[in-house]
Amino acid sequence: MKNSAPAPSALAMVPFVSVENMMRIVNTLGPANVIEKMADYIEADFLRWDQFDKTPRVAAHSREGVIELMPTSDGETYGFKYVNGHPANMARGFQTVTAFGVLARVDNGYPILLSEMTVLTALRTAATSAVAAKHLAPADSRTMAMIGNGAQCEFQALAFQRVIGIDTVRLYDIDPQATRKAARNLAATGLKIIQCGSPEEAVSGAGIITTCTADKQYATILTDNMVGSGVHINAIGGDCPGKTELHRDILLRSDIFVEFPPQTRIEGEIQQLDADHPVTELWQVIANRAEGRKSDRQITLFDSVGFATEDFSALRFIHDQLETTGHFVELDMLADPDDPRDLFGMVKRADVEGLKLTAS
């Protein structure tokens, strides 16, 4: 039977960015351009830090991994991300991380965007790393060591090339196939790619060291003797309780910068330290309320676990691209009766107009 019901009103329609739409947006604008522009949004939102509701992510931990909700609001717009982290997934043919997110109006609660965030999280993680390095890394850094060459690797390399100006990436992974994959994907970027046989070889001569591994365990990807003075460490792999990458002695030698201390003390590298160990919030450095890099011999450590405001910024950026790119579809997600009190009447009218499902 032909659908004769009236079309849903504009208020009931929500823009939806699918994986295909997201890939079209990224390729239309260019991955490096997306990361650079998203970094601007992230930095701008760090500068209005006090406007945001902030809470550690709501996490459901299991032996296999974690499922998390990451909510925040700036008073006008509310956003959240659903994300999982399951390190064993790759061996079973699944992604380690998958995600989706929502933006909504605070004044009436209506969603204004539903988006995939598996790709978007990779982009925003790289953009956040670049924002931190912009304020913390040695100004003359041109070489980055990338230890862990999985799904995040290429995004990080592009972010540091575009925002920081690195020209060389030294790659290492315990799986040589991952390193070869990353080298292939980065071959046309203009970066000099060096495939290394050990983490010690990878960090040799690097002013920036990025660690991004997936195992849910207290691991030691970097030992104390591998880290010389003056480097910036971008530690993004440790992001849940019981999962770290750096030897504790490195932390004790470093000036540590974090997104939101109540969350990072649970999930970051600093879970290895006493609860009162001093850290500096990244937003304070960006806003010139705290010092970042002070000397050529200083070791700066960005203990990044990902925070809800960064996802908010990423969703805000994507929402702003919809009109110009057109890469989205509209979903009929919200019931919109003519009389807001008569939801039941709307359902019954749908029955009368022939929308009721009947047995064949």
Residues with a known catalytic role: 239
Dihedral angle, C-alpha 19, 96, 34, 192, nearest 10 °: -130
In this structure, how many other beta carbons lie within 10 angstroms of the beta carbon of residue 231? 22
Among 27, 52, 10, which residue's Cα sits nearest to residue 327? 27
DSSP assignment of 151-189 equals TTHHHHHHHIIIII---EEEEE-SSHHHHHHHHHHTTTS
Residue 112 exposed, middle or buried by CB count within 10 Å (0-12, 13-18, 19+): middle
Residue type, 291: E
Check the CA dihedral 80-82-83-84 and report its sign.
Answer: positive
- Determine if residue 326 is left, alpha or beta; phi over 0 gives left, psi from -120 to 50 gives alpha, anything else beta: left
CA 89/CA 95 separation, integer angstroms: 6
User: CA neighbours within 13 Å on the CB side: how many for 179?
Assistant: 19
Pairing type for strands 208-211 and 232-235 reads parallel
Residue 181, number of CB atoms within 10 A of its CB: 18
Listing from the earlier edge strand, what are the strands of the sheet with 300-303?
Answer: 192-195, 168-172, 143-147, 208-211, 232-235, 300-303, 255-258, 280-281
Strand (E) or helix (H) holding 266: helix 261-267
